[in-house]
Structure 1
Amino acid sequence: MTDLDKALADIVAIRSQLVRGTAFSGYGPAAFAATAGLALATATAQTLLLDDPDARPLLFFGAWIATAVIALGLVGAEMRARARRHTGGLGDAMIHDAVEQFLPAGAAGALLALVLARVSPESLWLLPGLWQVLVSLGIFAGVRVMPRGVALVAAWYLVAGLAVLVVTGWERSLSPWAMGLPFAVGQGLMALVVRAASEADDAEI
C-alpha cells in the first residue's frame, strides 16, 4: 500500500468514525406527526370498512404495510432534505448510517410475517405486538446517533408491544387499534422529541 492509499484509507476511516459518533440532525417533526395521523386514519378506515380482520388477514396487513411504506417515504424525504441543509457533506453518509440501524429490525419483521403466514396463520394475531417490539429494538439500536429523549419513544413501543400481545391474546384476534393507537402515540412522541431537540440545537447556535 502506497502512502497515498494509506492516507485515503485513513480519511475514509476518520469520516466513518465521525459519522457514527455524531448525532444525526436530519429528522424532522412534520413527517413523524404526519405518520401518526396516517396510523389513526388507517385504523379508522379498517374499523369502518373491515368487518372481520381475522377473516381477511391479507387485507388487514396489506393496508398496514402500505401505510408503513408511505410513512417511510415521508420520513425519508424530509430526512434527506434536512440532512442536506444541516449536515453538509456528511449528509448522505449519515442517512446511510441511520437507515443501517433499522435494517435488522425491519428485515426481522418482514421475515417474521412471512414465516407466520406460511407456517402458522392462526398465530398472525401476534404480529402487531411483535412488530412494535421490533420497532422498539430498532430505535434503541440507533439511540447513539438520534435526538436526546428518543429512548422514551423506544420504551413506549416496547411497553405497547407487550401490552398488545397481552390484550389481543385474550381473544387471539386482529384489531385495527392494536396497530393504530400504539403507532399513533409512538410517532407523535417521536415528533415531539425531534422538535424539542431541534429547538435546543437552534438555541445553541
Structure 2
Amino acid sequence: MRDVDKALADILEIRNRIASHTAFRGYGPFTITLTGVIGLVTASLQTLFPIAGTPSLFITEWLATAAFCAVLIGIEMTGRSRRLHSGLADAMIHQAVEQFLPAAAASFFLPVLLLEFSRENVWMVPGLWQIFVSLGIFASLHNWPRSMMWVGGFYFVTGFATLLFSSQSHALSPMMMGLPFFFGQLLMGAILYLTTGGSDGED
C-alpha cells in the first residue's frame, strides 16, 4: 500500500507541476467584462440613493457585489476549465483560487475590521480594494498572459489615486470604486479575448 500511496502522491505532484506551468484559460472575457458592468451598476445605484453612502451599507453592498461576481466567475471558470484543461482542470482551478485567496481575504477582513475598530478610516476602503485586486493579479501572472500585467498596473495606480483624492474629504465615493473597477474589468476582458482568440477560448 505504501508503494501505491507513493505512486499516487507522485502523480499528483507531477500534475500540480504541469498545472503551474500551463496558461490558465478558465476566465472568460464576457463574464469578466460583465462583472465590470455589475460594479458600475452598483456604484450608480449608490450615487442615486445617498443612504448607500453610510459606511456599513456601502461596504456591505460592495461585498455582496464582489460575492455575486465571484460566483459568476467561479461557475464559468469550472465549466471552461473542465472543457479546456480536461484532466488538469481541478489542479488548475485550485491553483487559480489559491493565488487570489490572500488578496480576497484581505479585501473582506480589512473593511470589517475598519468598521469595527477604526470607522473614521473607512474612506480608504475603495482605494485599498483596488490595490488588493492588483496584488491578486500580479500573484497570478505566471498563469495568465503577460499582458495582464497592464491590468494589475492599472488597479495599482487607480488604487493609490483613489486614496490620494479621497484623503481630501474622507468621503466614500461610489464612483471612485465603480469607475476604476468597470474600466479595469473591461481591459481584462479585452486582453483575455485577444489572447484566447475568442470568447470561448478554443483554438
TM-score greater than 0.5 by the shorter chain: yes
- Find the counterpart in structure 2 of residue 172 from structure 1: 170
- Find the counterpart in structure 1 of residue 144 from structure 2: 146
1:97 corresponds, among 83, 95, 98, to 95
The RMSD of aligned alpha carbons is: 2.0
Q: TM-score, normalised by structure 2?
A: 0.93
Q: Deviations over 1:146-179 (max 9, x none)?
A: 2331111100000000000000111111001011
User: Could you tell me whether the CA contact under 8 Å between 2:63 and 2:108 is conserved in 1?
Assistant: no
5+ residue gaps, structure 1, are: none
Cα distance change of structure 1 residues 204 and 119 upon mapping to structure 2, 3 Å threshold: closer
Q: Output the CA distance in 2 between the equivalents of 1:3 and 1:137.
A: 41
- Find the counterpart in structure 2 of residue 23 from structure 1: 23
Cα distance change of structure 1 residues 188 and 71 upon mapping to structure 2, 3 Å threshold: same
- The CA deviation at 1:9 is 2.1
- Find the counterpart in structure 2 of residue 35 from structure 1: 35
Cα distance change of structure 1 residues 137 and 203 upon mapping to structure 2, 3 Å threshold: closer
- The CA deviation at 1:106 is 1.1
Q: Deviations over 1:93-120 (max 9, x none)?
A: 2111101101111111222112211111
Number of aligned residue pairs = 203
Cα distance change of structure 1 residues 203 and 138 upon mapping to structure 2, 3 Å threshold: closer
- Find the counterpart in structure 1 of residue 117 from structure 2: 119
5+ residue gaps, structure 2, are: none
Q: Output the CA distance in 2 between the equivalents of 1:76 and 1:151.
A: 22
Letter in 1 for 2:118: S
- Find the counterpart in structure 2 of residue 84 from structure 1: 82
- The CA deviation at 1:193 is 0.9
Cα distance change of structure 1 residues 193 and 12 upon mapping to structure 2, 3 Å threshold: same
User: Could you tell me whether the CA contact under 8 Å between 1:25 and 1:83 is conserved in 2?
Assistant: yes
User: Could you tell me whether the CA contact under 8 Å between 1:43 and 1:180 is conserved in 2?
Assistant: yes
Q: Output the CA distance in 2 between the equivalents of 1:90 and 1:203.
A: 16
- The CA deviation at 1:190 is 0.8
Identity of aligned residues (%): 47
Q: Output the CA distance in 1 between the equivalents of 2:142 and 2:52.
A: 42
Mapping 1:179-198, distance limit 5 Å:
179-198=177-196
Q: Output the CA distance in 2 between the equivalents of 1:90 and 1:52.
A: 43
SS for the counterpart of 2:146 is: coil
